[in-house]
């Protein structure tokens, strides 16, 4: 295959300035680039795509390229796979970055592809961070993909369902790449050390720290190894310990893109752990988010929602504890205030669960949307003036505190045309079990009052007539 090409078909390494370096002084190549896999067998992880009989392995073996979207976190091999495809299919490789490119660069890439086709060569067009292109820019690829002028490969860290146009998405297969697991990271670490820094010896703890800091990101691991190698050479050290790692590396935060896919996945995991009554899992996801830089008060707001959505009246203390945790954090700040949030999270996970209020609220909202503005019954209307009283406002209203058990059995509070919908159905858990008992008792009183009215009790009839009801 030809060397990687820039937009004008020139080998990418040609014509670049050396930023003041002597022509004889070689430009240092980052370790991550030097260790870039030269074959599929050298790619770390992704066995679900690259193992025998798996989708991408079969695509390579077929010799027939097709357009695709590679979706996964940073440092898992998206660019590497695109380069290997160009090599495997003997195609020209043109790389664009959506961060720096626009429609102009797309047109230049297409122009090169047209020249290449006349010379009997196919072009693989790789677009990194494709989700950063707007709709018009993404649409610009469509005719050339449909014509087969280019094989389009887009790389994205965001969910393509939301970030890639449906038209482009329908013309490309989507492959999901995963963060490297500990086994893949350890294997990659060992291979890199053997090839790039055999003079260094890492103890087990140091090796564990390095792979842990890299957090499933191969590129980050390479960069960390390179930093350690430079630091060790500077002081003449060959044995790398955990203490050396801690002193040498500024600890990077775990992978966490506030506002991105990882953000919503982790907050979803936190909420579902609480709903599932697993305090350990809830603490894990809370600490993961704090470790990744999430705003603690954002977590506080989510805890308040958990209290109302998933616990509700099964334990009304939940809302109070959630609000107090937010107030405690606002007063104490970090890290002391985070303990209050942790206390609230554990309480939410352990509390009795009920979404009865959440379900009832949603049902009421839907009913109102469908039924429109029904009039308030006359007996429930306010009557501050003489005219209103003469029109029947408030006539027949029964003051609950004057009734037996402070309950006006049989009274109606809904619009006249609405039958009791039974939206709120308390669960048999926590305090709602007591609420359920009370509501059952009140419904029995209502039924008894209806039977008495149906039998034509003089007392009831007289009371209604005296109240002025029709």
Beta strands in 161-261 (DSSP E): 173-176, 201-202, 239-240
In tens digits, the chain (470 residues) has pLDDT values of 444 444 333 344 444 444 445 555 565 778 878 888 888 888 888 888 888 888 888 888 887 888 899 988 888 888 889 888 888 888 889 888 887 777 778 888 888 888 988 888 888 999 888 888 888 788 888 888 888 888 899 998 888 887 888 888 888 888 998 888 888 888 888 888 888 888 888 888 888 888 877 878 888 888 888 888 888 888 888 888 888 887 777 554 455 555 555 677 888 999 999 999 999 999 999 998 888 778 888 899 999 999 999 999 999 999 999 999 999 988 888 888 899 999 999 999 999 999 999 999 999 999 988 887 888 888 888 888 888 888 888 888 888 898 898 988 888 888 888 888 989 999 999 999 999 999 999 989 988 888 887 676 544 433 333 343 33
Closest by alpha carbon to 52, among 67, 40, 35, 37? 40
Instruction: Establish how many alpha carbons lie within 13 A of residue 212's alpha carbon, considering only the half-sphere containing its beta carbon.
Output: 11
The structure tokens listed for 139 are 């649409």
* Cβ pair 189, 211 in contact under 8 A: yes
**Distance of alpha carbon 91 from alpha carbon 55, whole angstroms:** 20
- Where residue 213 falls (left for φ over 0; alpha for ψ -120 to 50; beta otherwise) is alpha
* pTM for this predicted structure: 0.55
């Amino acid at each position: 295959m030809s060397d990687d090409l820039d937009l004008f078909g020139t080998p990418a390494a040609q014509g670049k300035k050396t930023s003041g370096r002597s022509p004889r002084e070689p430009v240092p190549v980052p370790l991550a680039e030097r260790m870039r896999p030269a074959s599929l067998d050298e790619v770390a992880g992704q066995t679900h795509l690259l193992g025998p009989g798996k989708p991408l392995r079969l695509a390579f073996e077929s010799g027939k390229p097709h357009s695709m979207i590679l979706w996964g976190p940073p440092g898992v091999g998206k660019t590497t796979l695109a380069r290997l495809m160009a090599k495997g299919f003997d195609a020209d490789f043109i790389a664009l970055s959506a961060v720096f490119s626009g429609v102009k660069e797309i047109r230049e890439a297409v122009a090169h592809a047209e020249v290449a086709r006349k010379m009997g060569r196919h072009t693989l067009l790789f677009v990194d961070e494709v989700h950063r292109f707007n709709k018009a820019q993404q649409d610009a690829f469509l005719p050339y993909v449909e014509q087969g002028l280019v094989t389009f490969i887009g790389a994205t860290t965001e969910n393509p369902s939301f970030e890639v146009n449906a038209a482009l998405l329908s013309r490309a297969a989507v492959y999901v790449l995963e963060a490297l697991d500990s086994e893949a990271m350890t294997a990659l670490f060992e291979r890199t050390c053997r090839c790039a820094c055999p003079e260094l010896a890492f103890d087990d703890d140091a090796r564990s720290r390095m792979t842990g800091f890299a957090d499933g990101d191969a590129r980050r691991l390479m960069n960390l190894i390179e930093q350690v190698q430079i630091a060790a050479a500077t002081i003449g050290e060959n044995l790398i310990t955990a203490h050396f790692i801690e002193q040498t590396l500024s600890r990077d935060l775990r992978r966490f893109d506030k506002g991105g896919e990882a953000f919503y996945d982790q907050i979803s995991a936190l909420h579902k752990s609480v709903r599932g009554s697993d305090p350990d899992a809830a603490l894990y996801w809370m600490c993961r988010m704090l470790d990744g830089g999430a705003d603690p008060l954002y977590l506080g707001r989510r805890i308040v929602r958990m209290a109302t959505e998933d616990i509700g009246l099964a334990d009304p203390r939940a809302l109070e504890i959630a609000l107090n945790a937010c107030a405690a954090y606002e007063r104490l700040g970090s890290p002391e205030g985070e303990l209050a949030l942790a206390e609230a999270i554990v309480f939410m996970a352990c509390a009795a669960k009920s979404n009865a209020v959440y379900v009832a609220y949603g049902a009421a909202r839907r009913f109102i949307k469908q039924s429109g503005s029904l009039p308030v019954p006359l007996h429930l209307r306010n009557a501050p003036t003489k005219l209103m009283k003469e029109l029947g406002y408030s006539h027949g209203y029964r003051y609950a505190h004057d009734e037996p058990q402070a309950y006006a059995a049989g009274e109606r509070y809904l619009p006249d045309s609405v039958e009791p919908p039974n939206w709120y159905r308390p669960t048999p858990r926590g305090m709602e079990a007591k609420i359920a008992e009370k509501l059952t008792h009140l419904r029995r009183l209502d039924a008894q009052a209806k039977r008495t009215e149906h039998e034509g009790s003089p007392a009831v009839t007289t009371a209604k007539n005296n109240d002025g009801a029709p």
